[in-house]
């Protein structure tokens, strides 16, 4: 699912619910993510206050009062949702967006109702919120119960996502993050930096932009979209947008501008919802309606050039483009 705009949307959705709250309970229901969740995971999180929620490339970084950072990746199918006290965790069907909040129940357990898990028992008394573990769905792998009553749930059908705890002081040495290129929405990113990263690269522009060492956070959708906006061919050698010294050409400027614009537009729309990506509050992102070429094979070129959007496989993944105006 998620590229930079979707991860940023998730971050913005989770931050208000998590920052300043303590993690009271951690339930790992399936440790088999991309790598097994470490054995001390729960112990290192329990009791910690969430000091901040950041993002680097497609990673979410949860800063904890212990000095640890929880480094999380959504893989292809990961998502978070928040259950607030007083709301059920039922998710609306896509065809029925109005029902998102329709299925309420009480955040206080009715008398005689069984606690759903041992984690609930400590809060299972009148006047205390319980963490609503009773509404968990398939592929809900990690459940955080917060001191403010909210429950934050990580769901990931394909289990390509990951969670790893790293001491903040060693974040710079973390292999998952080390070597990642510039943040495309950061101040440092510009045509010169992009040109330098592409200089000398024999591979295609498409492959170069997918390489997280060149630019952070782009994936298949936004690479296709940025290349279209810049009218550059995905097949072009990456080195051809820089001069020999790594100096930017006009093409590098166009591409850097296109990358920033498409990411900003997508974040503004709350990301793209292809299969079931949602914001953490359950609402859908809208940007998929603004795709110009991605998943639009056979349609007329949206640039009005009389060409047709085509699709071909490049490095094992679908590329969508307009061969008549992307050069």
Binding characters for DNA, 218-247, by CB under 7 A (x = yes):
-xxx--------------------------
Active-site annotation holds for 24: no
Give catalytic status of residue 168 as yes or no: no
C-alpha to C-alpha distance for 246 and 240, rounded to whole angstroms:
10
Closest-CA residue to 211 (of 223, 200, 221): 223
Q: Is 201 in the site for DNA (CB under 7 A)?
A: yes
CB of 124 to DNA, least distance (A): 31
Q: Which is nearer to DNA, 11 or 277 (CB)?
A: 277
Q: Token pair 């009062």 is at which residue?
A: 65
Here's the x/- map for DNA, 130-149, by CB under 7 A: it reads as: --------xx----------
Rounded-to-integer distance, Cα 25 and Cα 162, Å: 19
Q: Is 8 in the site for DNA (CB under 7 A)?
A: no
Q: Which of 8, 41, 75, 254 binds DNA (CB under 7 A)?
A: 75
Residue 56 annotated as catalytic? no
By CB under 7 A, is residue 160 in contact with DNA?
Answer: yes
Q: What is the rounded CA–CA span in Å between residue 106 and residue 109?
A: 7
**CB-nearer residue toward DNA: 47 or 157:** 157
Judged by beta carbon, residue 133 or residue 277, the one nearer DNA is 277
Q: Measured between alpha carbons, how far is residue 236 from residues 73, 208, 299, 323 in Å?
A: 30, 10, 23, 12
Closest CA to 310 of 299, 327, 228, 236: 299
Joined together, the tokens standing for residue 295 give 């998943």
Site for DNA contains 73 (CB under 7 A): yes
Which range, of 96-104, 118-126, 189-197, 206-214, touches DNA by CB under 7 A?
A: 206-214
Which residue in 12, 29, 31, 34 binds DNA (CB under 7 A)? 34
Active site residue 97: no
Subset of residues 294 to 323 that bind DNA, contact rule: CB under 7 A: 315-318
Binding status of residue 203 toward DNA by CB under 7 A: yes
* Maximum C-alpha span of the chain: 75
Of these, 153, 210, 252, 269, which contacts DNA (CB under 7 A)?
Answer: 210
User: Given the rule CB under 7 A, which residues bind DNA?
Assistant: 1-3, 6, 32, 34, 57-58, 73, 75-77, 138-139, 157-160, 175-176, 201-204, 207, 210, 212, 219-221, 271-277, 315-318
Q: Which residues are marked as active site?
A: 2-3, 58, 317
């Amino acid at each position: 699912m998620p590229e930079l705009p979707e991860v940023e949307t998730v971050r913005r959705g989770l931050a208000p619910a998590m920052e300043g709250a303590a993690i009271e309970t951690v339930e790992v229901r399936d440790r088999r993510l991309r790598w097994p969740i470490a054995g001390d995971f729960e112990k290192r999180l329990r009791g910690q206050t969430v000091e901040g929620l950041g993002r680097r490339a497609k990673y979410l970084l949860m800063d904890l009062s212990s000095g640890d950072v929880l480094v999380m990746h959504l893989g292809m199918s990961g998502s978070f949702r928040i259950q607030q006290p007083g709301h059920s965790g039922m998710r609306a069907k896509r065809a029925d967006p109005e029902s998102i909040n329709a299925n309420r129940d009480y955040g206080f357990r009715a008398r005689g109702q069984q606690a759903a898990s041992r984690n609930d028992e400590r809060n299972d008394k009148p006047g205390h919120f319980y963490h609503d573990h009773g509404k968990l769905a398939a592929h809900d792998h990690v459940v955080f119960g917060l001191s403010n009553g909210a429950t934050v749930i990580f769901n990931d059908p394909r289990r390509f996502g990951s969670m790893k705890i790293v001491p903040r002081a060693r974040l710079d040495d973390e292999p998952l993050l080390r070597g990642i290129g510039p943040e495309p929405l950061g101040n440092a990113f510009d045509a010169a930096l992009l040109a330098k990263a592409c200089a000398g690269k024999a591979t295609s522009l498409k492959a170069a932009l997918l390489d997280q060492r060149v630019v952070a956070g782009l994936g298949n959708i936004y690479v296709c979209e940025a290349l279209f906006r810049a009218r550059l061919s995905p097949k072009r050698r990456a080195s051809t947008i820089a001069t020999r010294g790594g100096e930017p050409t006009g093409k590098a400027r166009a591409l850097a501008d296109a990358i920033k614009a498409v990411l900003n537009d997508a974040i503004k729309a709350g990301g793209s919802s292809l299969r079931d990506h949602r914001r953490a509050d359950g609402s859908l992102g809208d940007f998929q309606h603004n795709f110009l070429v991605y998943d639009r094979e056979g349609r007329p070129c949206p640039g009005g050039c009389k060409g047709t959007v085509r699709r071909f496989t490049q490095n094992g993944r679908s590329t969508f483009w307009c061969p008549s105006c992307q050069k």
